[in-house]
């Protein structure tokens, strides 16, 4: 007789089930359906042309959730699309002379094929591509609606300019003073730009973080800090010209410490402040100083090393509480135009920076807050003589009507006074700034605006939407090809008909990703971006999964967009993502040859602790995120060809908790592959056992395994709910081990074994869907596992009748006792004291105290 092949044929099996699922449309939603909905979404990929391990991990994690929820009885939506606008397409055009659109669509075709062998439970009928006019025409309309609603505007302002990408960057895209993609030092430029009014929702975006209880704390904290709320006051300082006359103008400053106003010794304004620009007109030295400030001050290194510098404008500001007193007005390099009003008052005694500035320019230091309970006079003398500011809580001194008040009360009193004098008011300031969405790029969604000399910025009429990109463009010169296109740019004004110009900027690519999750709800609708009914049914996304690098960028923009879309009547929803999960990176060891060049893992010979390349020694570096530059990438295609999708999935899921970094190792994937083969052999044996009911009375061994099966169902379900996939795998392996070790010849042995194998197949299905389907089929079931309900456990079988509990003496383990679960304290104590090792420790003396926690522990305190 031919023995069944004991080696699992993943190639055949995986292809077979992928075909089956596709033929049965297993992953499209049920419509109509009485089941509760569940929307699983992973951040859609940029079509770079190659699937990498980070993708595999991301989509595997989402797939586990999608498959598990489906088995749990939810109507699951799990769509996929392409974040298809972006700079790499233009770079490809530059390097290879291929059109960005063509390059992108080719990549999408390649990657869609690469996705297939992963066996993901995706609904491809909902596929969307963001560079398709059928997609982006809706966001053009949406933008015009935002404009009407006052949520979009155009303004000349200082912007972050990336000199390598030749485009503007949003604040969120500037990391350490450098462009987030190019790494180039960002410059400041003054340009006319379109902005989305994200600050309109600052308070709401902040408050609502509270309710995002299924988001990682880390991300919530990052958004909280990014929005950066601070309470304070705007204070008006009447200005006095150089010749001592009141100019009638006022200088507005923002402060969080109005209680320290009596300690003011100067005012300082940003080099970009209108007052500074005006003052520089008649002062060449000041103009030079301002130019100097604008040049530096962006890169990290510059900020860290830059000393506080100022230039006295000669203007004076009159103190709001004491009109007899004036302070000098400086232009200072450390004052940011973009925060508050671009001007501050300096209180050296209670602000570190102001102290540094005051010492440098010999400005007075006045103590106006002293710690509670300290001698105020002595403290003030010390502070005013020293170089250290005091910024903690205390009591106001030397402050007229504020004297004796603690900081909070003094703040309130100062604000009340300012308001009664009409020289200021209490206010809330945010760090968050409006989102600049104009990009001087070709490969993005055109901004549907026409600039007319007579009519200004005119929205493109609805009937002319979408504004599509011209195909005939070249990339041989830097800059935006739309800008120099001969015809596309020149159009007539829709309002007056005169010659006008199209807006040649395109949207930031974060625009597309800010609403795609809603588009998936009605991906083929032509007249609207999505149906409100469908969106309100499916949104919010129940589980969103992606990298932590989008903690403030994409996730904040999407939260804003959802509010903006609601404000414009597209839907009625505040938060787009109910549950958020941020996965860790995929890492690998790095290798360098004798010449210091990076080496690919595949080319390095590893034997034990040493490594070599062509006989030369290789330096093994620490594990880092897989990247092309360090050559420590592993091609998913090769892994899938060698071990199959289930092995790759299982390894990625079992090696580390999903939110931590994963270290890719060959040994690890081989371990997963070995396990699948062991599981396969269990199944081959189980398939020979005829199906039938379990005997009523089981031999103790299978009875124990029977309980373990139920415990495992319970534990794995819990693990899957809580993203503890690594622990779920461990439990399943434990059960597999127990099944393999069990004596099947006793009463109930075979039946429990068969039941156990079937259960393992069900439990591992979300993690390794192909082999589990195959096993399920081998066991003679008629349904496919993908359409089978998640197994239930019998609560009565979760626990044993007897329990083994630890016995400690003085907190140290001295033995264990196995007793009936219901055993009372007295029985536990008697059993514990009978242990020889315990008696030895007690040395004949009676115990001083015995702590008994039934079912858990007995701890004997020796005399």
Report if residue 812 touches RNA, rule: CB under 7 A.
yes
Instruction: Kindly list the distances between the CA atom of residue 27 and the CA atoms of 66, 80, 514, 649, 754, in Å, as whole numbers in the listed order.
Output: 9, 12, 25, 19, 29
Q: How many CA atoms lie within 13 A of 679 on its CB side?
A: 36
Q: How far is the CB of 68 from RNA (least distance, A)?
A: 18
DSSP string, 162-211: ETTTTEEE-GGGEETTEETTT-PBPEEEEEEEEEE-GGGGHHHHHHGGGG
CB of 435 to RNA, least distance (A): 14
Residue identified by tokens 């399943």 is 732
Shortest reach from residue 556's CB to RNA, in Å? 11
Nearer to RNA, 175 or 208 (CB): 175
- The answer to the question of residue 729 lying near RNA (CB under 7 A) is yes
Shortest reach from residue 460's CB to RNA, in Å: 34
φ and ψ at 755, to 5 degrees? -60, -40
- Chain CA centroid to CA 579, Å: 12
Q: Does 799 bind RNA (CB under 7 A)?
A: no
Site map (CB under 7 A) of RNA, residues 555-594, x = contact: ----------------------------------------
Q: Is 183 in the site for RNA (CB under 7 A)?
A: no
Site for RNA in 503-562 (CB under 7 A): 548, 551-552
Distances (CA, A) of 454 to 492, 631, 791: 12, 56, 71
* Number of residues assigned to the chain: 863
- In the complex, least distance from residue 345 CB atom to RNA, rounded to whole angstroms: 7
Using rule CB under 7 A, residue 811 touches RNA = yes
Q: Does the protein bind RNA through residue 737 (CB under 7 A)?
A: yes
Shortest Cβ 836–RNA spacing (Å): 8
Binding flag, residue 228, RNA (CB under 7 A): yes
Residue 230 sits in the site that holds RNA (CB under 7 A): yes
Rg (CA), the chain: 34
CB 333 → RNA: shortest distance, Å?
5
Q: Is 842 in the site for RNA (CB under 7 A)?
A: no
Minimum distance, C-beta of residue 764 to RNA, in the bound complex (Å): 12
For RNA, which residue of 806, 827, 833, 842 counts as binding (CB under 7 A)?
806
- Member of 568, 604, 620, 730 binding RNA (CB under 7 A): 730
Options 218-226, 372-380, 402-410, 689-697: segment touching RNA (CB under 7 A): 218-226
Cβ proximity to RNA: between 470 and 854 the closer is 854
20 or 256: CB nearest RNA: 256
Instruction: Kindly determine how many residues on this chain lie close enough to bind RNA according to the rule CB under 7 A.
Output: 84
Q: How far is the CB of 344 from RNA (least distance, A)?
A: 5
Asked if 392 touches RNA (CB under 7 A), the answer is no
SS3 state of residue 481 = coil
Please pick, from the candidates 636, 668, 748, 749, the single residue that binds RNA as defined by CB under 7 A: 668
CB nearer to RNA: give 526 or 804. Answer: 804
Q: Which stretch binds RNA (CB under 7 A): 188-196, 204-212, 255-263, 499-507?
A: 255-263
**DSSP state string for 507-568:** E-THHHHTTHHHHTTSTT-SSSSS-HHHHHHHPSBSEEEEEGGGTTHHHHHHHHHHHHHHHT
Task: Give min distance, CB of 423 to RNA, in A.
Answer: 16
Segment contacting RNA by CB under 7 A, of 222-230, 407-415, 533-541, 612-620: 222-230
Q: Say whether residue 217 binds RNA (CB under 7 A).
A: yes
Contacts (CB under 7 A) with RNA, residues 400-429: 429
d(CA 764, CA 471): 49
Task: Please tell me the distance from the alpha carbon of residue 127 to that of residue 110, in angstroms, as a whole number.
Answer: 15
In the complex, minimum distance from the CB of residue 826 to RNA, in angstroms, rounded to a whole number: 18
If one asks whether residue 608 binds RNA (CB under 7 A), the answer comes out as yes
Q: Which stretch binds RNA (CB under 7 A): 514-522, 528-536, 634-642, 800-808?
A: 800-808
Nearer to RNA, 16 or 229 (CB): 229
Rounded Cα–Cα distance for residues 670 and 678 (Å): 12
Pick from 28, 733, 747, 781: which binds RNA (CB under 7 A)? Answer: 733
- Which one among 109, 221, 372, 594 touches RNA, defined by CB under 7 A? 221
DSSP one-letter code for 843: T
Q: Which of residues 340-369 bind RNA (CB under 7 A)?
A: 340, 342, 344, 351, 353
**Given 124, 153, 339, 401, the residue binding RNA (CB under 7 A):** 339
Segment 427 to 466, residues that bind RNA, using CB under 7 A: 429, 431
Candidate list 600, 670, 800, 829; residue touching RNA; CB under 7 A: 670
192 contributes a contact to RNA by CB under 7 A: no
Distances (CA, A) of 49 to 105, 109, 113, 444, 673: 9, 9, 11, 18, 28
Give yes or no for residue 834 binding RNA (CB under 7 A): no
C-alpha count within 13 angstroms, C-beta hemisphere, residue 653: 31
CB of 221 or CB of 834, closer to RNA: 221
Which residues 638-667 are close enough to bind RNA by CB under 7 A? 654-657, 660-661, 663, 665, 667
Instruction: Kindly state the tokens that stand for 425.
Output: 């008011």
**Pairing between strand 79-82 and 123-129?**
parallel
Q: What is the C-alpha separation between 657 and 725, in angstroms, rounded?
A: 7
Q: Would you say 221 or 372 has its CB closer to RNA?
A: 221
Q: Which residues contact 248 (CB under 8 A, 6 or more apart)?
A: none
Q: What is residue 318's DSSP assignment?
A: E
Site for RNA in 309-338 (CB under 7 A): 333-337
From residue 97, alpha-carbon distances to 90, 397, 486, 731 in Å are 9, 71, 20, 53
Which residues, in sequence order, are CB contacts of 347 under 8 Å at separation 6+?
Answer: 257, 260, 261, 263, 264, 265, 354, 366, 368
CB–CB of 255/343 below 8 Å? no
Which residue intervals of 611-768 are DSSP H helices? 636-643, 645-655, 666-687, 700-721, 725-741, 749-764
CB 224 to RNA: min, Å: 8
State which residue, 552 or 761, has the beta carbon closest to RNA. 552
The CB-of-543 to RNA minimum distance in angstroms stands at 19
One of 95, 243, 281, 304 touching RNA (CB under 7 A): 304
Establish if 849 lies at the interface with RNA (CB under 7 A).
yes
Enter the DSSP assignment of 38.
Answer: E
Residue 813 beta carbon to RNA: minimum distance, rounded to whole angstroms = 4
CB of 121 to RNA, least distance (A): 25
Which helix (H) or strand (E) segment holds residue 452: the answer is strand 449-452
Quick check: 688 binds RNA (CB under 7 A)?
Answer: no
Question: Applying CB under 7 A, does 277 fall inside the site for RNA?
Answer: no
Helices vs strands, H then E, count in the chain = 26, 38
3-state secondary structure of 149: coil
Token code pair at residue 499: 């010659």
Instruction: Kindly tell me which of 258 and 702 has the beta carbon lying closer to RNA.
Output: 258
Using rule CB under 7 A, residue 60 touches RNA: no
Displacement of CA 291 from its chain's centroid (Å): 38
Q: Which residues pair with 853 in a beta bridge?
A: 857
Closest CA to 601 of 637, 630, 625: 630
Residues 699-728 that bind RNA (CB under 7 A): 724, 726-727
Q: List the one residue out of 229, 262, 263 whose CA is nearest residue 417.
A: 262
Position 179 contacts RNA (CB under 7 A): no
Work out the number of other CB atoms within 10 angstroms of the CB of residue 476: 8
| Among 696, 804, 843, 863, contact with RNA (rule: CB under 7 A) | 804
């Amino acid at each position: 007789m031919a023995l069944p092949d004991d080696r699992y044929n993943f190639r055949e099996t995986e292809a077979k089930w992928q075909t089956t699922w596709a033929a049965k449309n297993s992953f499209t939603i049920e419509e109509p359906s009485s089941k509760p909905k569940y929307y699983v979404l992973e951040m859609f990929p940029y079509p770079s042309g190659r699937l990498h391990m980070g993708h595999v991990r991301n989509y595997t994690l989402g797939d586990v959730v999608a498959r598990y929820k489906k088995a749990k009885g939810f109507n699951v939506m799990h769509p996929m699309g392409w974040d298809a606008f972006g700079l790499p397409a233009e770079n490809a055009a530059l390097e290879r002379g291929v059109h960005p659109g063509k390059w992108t669509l080719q990549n999408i075709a390649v990657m869609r094929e690469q996705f297939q062998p992963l066996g993901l439970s995706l609904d491809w009928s909902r596929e969307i591509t963001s560079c398709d006019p059928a997609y982006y025409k809706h966001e053009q309309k949406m933008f015009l609606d935002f404009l009407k609603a006052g949520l979009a505007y155009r303004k000349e302002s200082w912007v972050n300019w990336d000199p390598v990408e030749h485009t503007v960057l949003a604040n969120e895209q500037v990391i350490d003073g450098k462009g987030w993609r190019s790494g180039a030092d960002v410059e400041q430029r003054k340009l006319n730009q379109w902005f989305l009014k994200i600050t309109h929702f600052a308070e709401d975006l902040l408050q609502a973080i509270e309710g995002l209880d299924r988001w990682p704390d880390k991300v919530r904290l990052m958004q909280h800090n990014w929005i950066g709320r601070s309470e304070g006051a705007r204070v008006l300082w009447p200005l006095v010209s150089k010749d001592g006359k009141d100019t009638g103008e006022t200088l507005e400053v923002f402060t969080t410490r109005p209680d320290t106003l009596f300690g003011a010794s100067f005012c300082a304004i940003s080099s970009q402040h209108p007052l500074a620009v005006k003052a520089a007109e008649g002062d060449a030295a000041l103009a030079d100083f301002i130019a100097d400030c604008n040049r530096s001050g962006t890169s990290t290194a510059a900020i860290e090393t830059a000393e506080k510098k100022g230039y006295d404008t000669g203007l004076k500001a009159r103190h709001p509480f004491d009109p007899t007193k004036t302070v000098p007005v400086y232009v200072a390099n450390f004052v940011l135009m973009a925060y508050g009003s671009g001007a501050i008052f300096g209180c050296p005694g209670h602000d570190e920076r102001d102290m540094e500035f005051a010492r440098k320019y010999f400005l007075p230091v006045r103590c106006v807050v002293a710690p509670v309970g300290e001698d105020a006079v002595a403290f003030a003398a010390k502070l005013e003589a020293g170089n250290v500011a005091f910024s903690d809580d205390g009591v106001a001194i030397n402050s007229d009507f504020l004297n004796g008040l603690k900081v909070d009360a003094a703040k309130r009193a100062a604000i009340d006074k300012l308001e009664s004098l009409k020289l200021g008011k209490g206010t809330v300031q945010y760090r968050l700034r409006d989102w600049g969405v104009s990009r001087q790029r070709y490969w993005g969604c055109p901004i549907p605006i026409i600039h007319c000399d007579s009519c200004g910025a005119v929205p493109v009429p609805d009937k002319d939407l979408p504004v599509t990109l011209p195909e005939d463009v070249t990339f041989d010169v830097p800059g935006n090809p739309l800008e120099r296109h001969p015809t596309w740019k020149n159009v007539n004004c829709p309002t007056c008909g005169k010659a006008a110009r199209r807006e040649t900027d395109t949207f930031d690519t974060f625009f597309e990703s800010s609403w795609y999750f809603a588009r998936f709800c009605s991906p083929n609708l032509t007249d609207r971006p999505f149906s409100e009914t469908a969106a309100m049914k499916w949104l919010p996304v129940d589980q969103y999964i992606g990298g932590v690098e989008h903690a403030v960028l994409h996730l904040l923009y999407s939260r804003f967009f959802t509010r903006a879309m609601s404000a414009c009547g597209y839907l009625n929803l505040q938060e787009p993502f109910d549950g958020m999960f941020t996965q860790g990176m995929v890492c690998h060891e790095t290798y360098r040859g004798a010449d210091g060049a990076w080496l690919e893992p595949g080319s390095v010979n590893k034997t034990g602790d040493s490594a070599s390349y062509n006989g030369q020694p290789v330096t093994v570096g620490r594990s880092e995120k897989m990247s092309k530059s360090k050559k420590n990438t592993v091609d998913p295609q090769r892994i899938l060809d060698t071990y199959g999708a289930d092995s790759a999935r299982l390894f990625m899921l079992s090696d580390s908790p999903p939110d931590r970094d994963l270290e890719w190792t060959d040994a690890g994937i081989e371990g997963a592959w070995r396990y699948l083969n062991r599981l396969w052999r269990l199944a081959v044996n189980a398939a020979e056992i005829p199906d039938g009911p379990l005997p009523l009375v089981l031999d103790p061994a299978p009875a124990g395994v029977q309980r373990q099966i139920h415990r495992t169902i319970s534990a794995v379900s819990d693990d899957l709910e809580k993203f503890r996939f690594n622990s779920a795998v461990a439990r399943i392996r434990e059960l597999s081990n127990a099944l393999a070790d069990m004596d099947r010849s006793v009463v109930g042995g075979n039946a429990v074994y068969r039941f156990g194998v079937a259960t393992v197949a069900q439990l591992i299905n979300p993690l390794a869907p192909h082999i589990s389907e195959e096993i399920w089929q081998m066991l003679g079931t008629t349904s496919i596992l993908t359409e089978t309900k998640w197994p239930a456990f019998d609560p009565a079988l979760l626990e044993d009748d007897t329990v083994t509990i630890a016995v400690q003496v003085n907190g140290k383990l001295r033995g264990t006792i196995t007793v009936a679960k219901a055993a009372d304290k007295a029985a536990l104590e008697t059993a514990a004291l009978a242990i020889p090792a315990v008696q030895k420790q007690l040395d004949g003396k009676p115990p001083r105290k015995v702590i008994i926690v039934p079912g858990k522990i007995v701890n004997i305190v020796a005399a």
